[in-house]
Amino acid sequence: MTTMRDRVAEYITGLQDKIVTALESLDPNAPPFVRDQWEREQGGYGISCVFSTPYSSTPATTVLEKAGVNISVIHGALPPAAIKQMRVEHASIPYDPDSQAALPFFAAGISLVIHPRNPHAPTVHANYRYFEISDTANPLPGSAPIAWWFGGGSDLTPSYLYEDDVTHFHRTIKAACDAHGAALHPAFKKWCDEYFFIPHRKEARGLGGLFFDDLCDTVHARMPDADATARPYTADDIFAFVRRAGDAFIPSYIPILERRMHTPYTDAQRRWQLLRRGRYVEFNLVYDRGTKFGLMTPGARIESILMSLPETARWEYMSEVGTEESSEEAKLVEVLRKPKEWA
């Protein structure tokens, strides 16, 4: 019998390959993604697939500007402080406040951020992950872990608002959710709007999508009343949902990129895109939990954590761009300030 650990690792490996292949085939003349396998000293490995172009004062003309599609399959010992925090959502984790003992954990996930070069083509982020806490570092197939859960999501961050694109993105991932229960999409769409919010700018990072965590076989705080028809409960059923959400990535995003990647653009539009990338940096460095957790973790692979940052970002003091009423830039800002239903 194959363990969930192996099944997730196999799934994300295949998905990574499909996504990288899809992106490469959009732009056959561009340099390929660099594939970079790394080992983690404390246990496990990862494969980073990264796209970039050499620096030049005259910008390159590739479809992508910077992109990373990474997987990691790691295990190790969870320190008491992390155990304490995880117990909030997972009461099955034993916790003795006097104990300094660590618990074995396993985590496997895929994480991607794609920053296209064209200001009309949106940035996208997706992440799907499985987490397990055991009482032994190498559990036998068939033995139940102490706790396990899935998390993930996907969200779109355009510089210019094309309603058709945003609707397509949201409908595609909503359909993937709805096939596994009606409670999923409303809960995870709302969570996404709440999570990707930049308080000091009073605006969202992007136009939303899905965000979820701690999805397992117990009641979920975001869907407290969901019965077995409204959401998946077993590990098999949740993994089936996660696979469908992961598989929805390519159809949710690639058609948008194809449609916008050759749209002519002006210097003014490039400037606005770089300013929006500045906001992306602000969210990721100041608020993103995964990034903050990674930066604070001794021995974390900083290069993989910060691959989400754009190649280039820009900051202007009191920029007037986006403030002129009914401009294309202001239209985007308006929906960033007031999240909408798109599907």
Minimum CB–partner distance for residue 41 and a copy of itself (Å)? 16
Tokens of 23: 């992106």
CA distance 148 to 145: 7
Q: Which is nearer to a copy of itself, 54 or 142 (CB)?
A: 54
Minimum CB–partner distance for residue 279 and a copy of itself (Å)? 11
Applying CB under 8 A, which of residues 25, 267, 289, 325 lies at the interface with a copy of itself?
A: 267
CA distance 294 to 149: 19
Q: Which is nearer to a copy of itself, 59 or 79 (CB)?
A: 59
Using rule CB under 8 A, residue 286 touches a copy of itself: yes
x-or-dash string of contact with a copy of itself, 51-80, rule CB under 8 A: -x--xxx-x------x-x------------
CA distance 324 to 332: 12
Compute CA distances 231 → 66, 86, 144, 342, whole Å. Answer: 36, 22, 21, 21
Using rule CB under 8 A, residue 40 touches a copy of itself: no
Using rule CB under 8 A, residue 20 touches a copy of itself: no
Minimum CB–partner distance for residue 297 and a copy of itself (Å)? 9
Q: Which is nearer to a copy of itself, 261 or 285 (CB)?
A: 285
Applying CB under 8 A, which of residues 191, 312, 328, 343 lies at the interface with a copy of itself?
A: 312
Segment near a copy of itself (CB under 8 A); pick from 44-52, 95-103, 211-219, 250-258? 44-52
Compute CA distances 303 → 14, 43, 50, 279, whole Å. Answer: 23, 18, 11, 20
Using rule CB under 8 A, residue 140 touches a copy of itself: no
Compute CA distances 298 → 36, 131, 201, 291, 292, whole Å. Answer: 21, 19, 31, 13, 12
Helices (H), 132-206: 163-178, 184-195
Q: Which is nearer to a copy of itself, 100 or 266 (CB)?
A: 266
Q: Which is nearer to a copy of itself, 32 or 141 (CB)?
A: 32
Catalytic residue of the set 120, 125, 185, 220: 125
Using rule CB under 8 A, residue 311 touches a copy of itself: yes
Applying CB under 8 A, which of residues 201, 244, 259, 331 lies at the interface with a copy of itself?
A: 201
Minimum CB–partner distance for residue 291 and a copy of itself (Å)? 9
CA distance 262 to 55: 21
The yes-or-no answer on residue 168 being catalytic is no
Burial of 207: CB neighbours in 10 Å, binned 0-12, 13-18, 19+: buried
End-to-end CA distance of the chain: 39
- Identity (one letter) of the amino acid at 320? E
Burial of 81: CB neighbours in 10 Å, binned 0-12, 13-18, 19+: exposed
Burial of 61: CB neighbours in 10 Å, binned 0-12, 13-18, 19+: exposed
Helix 249-260 vs helix 235-247: crossing angle, to nearest 10: 10
Using rule CB under 8 A, residue 318 touches a copy of itself: yes
Q: Which is nearer to a copy of itself, 2 or 57 (CB)?
A: 57
Minimum CB–partner distance for residue 167 and a copy of itself (Å)? 31
Catalytic residues: 125
Q: Which residue ranges make up the site for a copy of itself (CB under 8 A)?
A: 36, 48, 50, 52, 55-57, 59, 66, 68, 199-201, 267-268, 270-271, 274, 278, 281-282, 285-286, 292, 295, 300, 302-303, 306-307, 309-318
